[in-house]
Amino acid sequence: MNDLIKKCLLFGSGLIVLGVIIFCTKMFYSECLANEIQAEQTKPIEQNNSNVFINISQIPFPKELDFCGERVPLENPEVRERAEREFYLLLQQQGQLALYLKRAGRFFPIYERIIKEMNLPDDLKYLSVAESALFQSRSSANAFGLWQFMEATARNHGLRIDKFVDERAHVEKSTLAALTYLAGGYRTFGSWALTAAAYNMGRTGVRNAMNRQNVDNYYDLFLNQETSRFVFRIVIIKELMKNAKKYGIDFSEDELYSFGKTRTVTVNGAIPNLVDWAASHNNLLKDVRLLNPWILTNELPNGKWEIMIYDK
């Protein structure tokens, strides 16, 4: 019995010694890590583009901003504060900004071509970024697509929506519809800032607010929070995307997203099985559905269809 007690005491003593060693080791490495972190934090911030996100306070706010050639009155402190809010918030989202730039490689060439054909300001393409982040998203209010059309507005502008297709997700058709709507808004308001605000909250809402408040300038209007921020968000997105390298993000052309090598096939009639149709063109169903997000099912009824496929 005595031998057993002695063994237990020896074993317990060993555990205590081992515990002390482990504790001291942890304390030593913790102190080393703390010193390393402190040294890193006290290092001077290098003033170059690769470190631009390290300290946002060191990034100068732009002296001038404009939207479609209309100057933002930054001399107004309240206006400047609203612009700075969007500027600094988006600077914290460098991953999101990177995705804006990459997705722009896929969609901006289409936007720019249609904008040029319609003789409209190039800045309008940034409205789509503010609306959808250049993603075929659906909002809680059921607005859908790159331009976030509501169903009724989309139908009024010639977009087809049924159980087979939703052309709000058709890049070219939805872009043409959105730009047509914006051009009509400019004819109504004579201001691109008010036109963009009306895109967000509706022309009637903006007109009623202007009449109630007896003002004719977006920057003087008291609006709901979303619309109050909307134009500033577009303006700041434009600033950061046009000057991305200045703000620390620099992609080469081949790093941007694109549709790849594609061609468009015209189909006159029905497609009863899109899987078989895709296979007959050396594509997968996945290829066809991703290139043509406006197609909602794996079949199409009788009609004339322009379907993008990979040119393999």
Q: Which three-class secondary structure state does DSSP give residue 261?
A: coil
Q: Work out the average pLDDT over 93-102.
A: 96
Q: How far is CA 76 from CA 42, 84, 235, 254, in A?
A: 37, 12, 16, 41
Q: How far lies 298's CA from each of 108, 164, 288, in Å?
A: 29, 8, 10
pLDDT at 172 (0 to 100): 98
Instruction: State the helix-helix crossing angle for 171-189 and 192-201, rounded to 10 degrees.
Output: 120
Whole-number pLDDT of residue 218: 98
Among residues 305, 308, 309, the alpha carbon closest in space to that of 160 is found at: 305
pLDDT at 57: 79
pLDDT over threshold 60, residue 260: yes
pLDDT at 38 over 60: no
User: How much is the pLDDT for 263?
Assistant: 98
Q: Say if residue 284's pLDDT is above 90.
A: yes
Res 20 pLDDT > 50: no
The residue-averaged pLDDT of 115-124 equals 98
pLDDT surpasses 50 at 9: no
Q: What is the pLDDT of residue 13?
A: 56
Average per-residue pLDDT for the chain = 88
Predicted confidence (pLDDT) at residue 205 exceeds the cutoff of 60: yes
**pLDDT confidence of 35, banded at 50, 70, 90?**
very low
Dihedral (C-alpha) 151, 127, 68, 176: value to the nearest 10 degrees? -40
What is the predicted pLDDT for the residue at 55?
A: 76
Q: What angle do CA 257, 263, 265 make, to 5 degrees?
A: 135
Q: How confident is the model at residue 56 (pLDDT cuts 50, 70, 90)?
A: confident
Burial (CB count within 10 angstroms: exposed 0-12, middle 13-18, buried 19+), residue 11: exposed
Whether the per-residue pLDDT at 2 is higher than 60: the answer is: no
Q: Which residue has the higher pLDDT, 8 or 130?
A: 130
Which residues, listed in sequence order, are joined to residue 263 by a DSSP beta bridge? Answer: 309
Q: What's the average model confidence in pLDDT over 169-174?
A: 98
Least confidently predicted of 27-41, 64-78, 259-273, 277-291: 27-41
Which whole-number Å values give the CA distances from 61 to 45, 231, 239, 247, in the listed order? Answer: 18, 17, 10, 11
- Flag whether pLDDT at 46 surpasses 50: no
pLDDT at 32: 42
Tell me what pLDDT residue 39 has: 40
Average pLDDT score over residue span 260-266: 98
Q: What is the pLDDT at residue 58?
A: 85
Owner of token pair 């390298």 = 245
Residue 10 has a pLDDT of: 47
pTM above 0.85, yes or no: no
Percent over 70 (pLDDT), the chain: 83
3-class DSSP state of 310: strand
Greater pLDDT, 178 or 8: 178
**DSSP state string for 42-94:** HSPPP-SGGGTTT-GGGSPPPS--EETTEEP-TTSHHHHHHHHHHHHHHHT-H
DSSP symbol at 140: T
In this prediction, residue 44 carries a pLDDT of 37
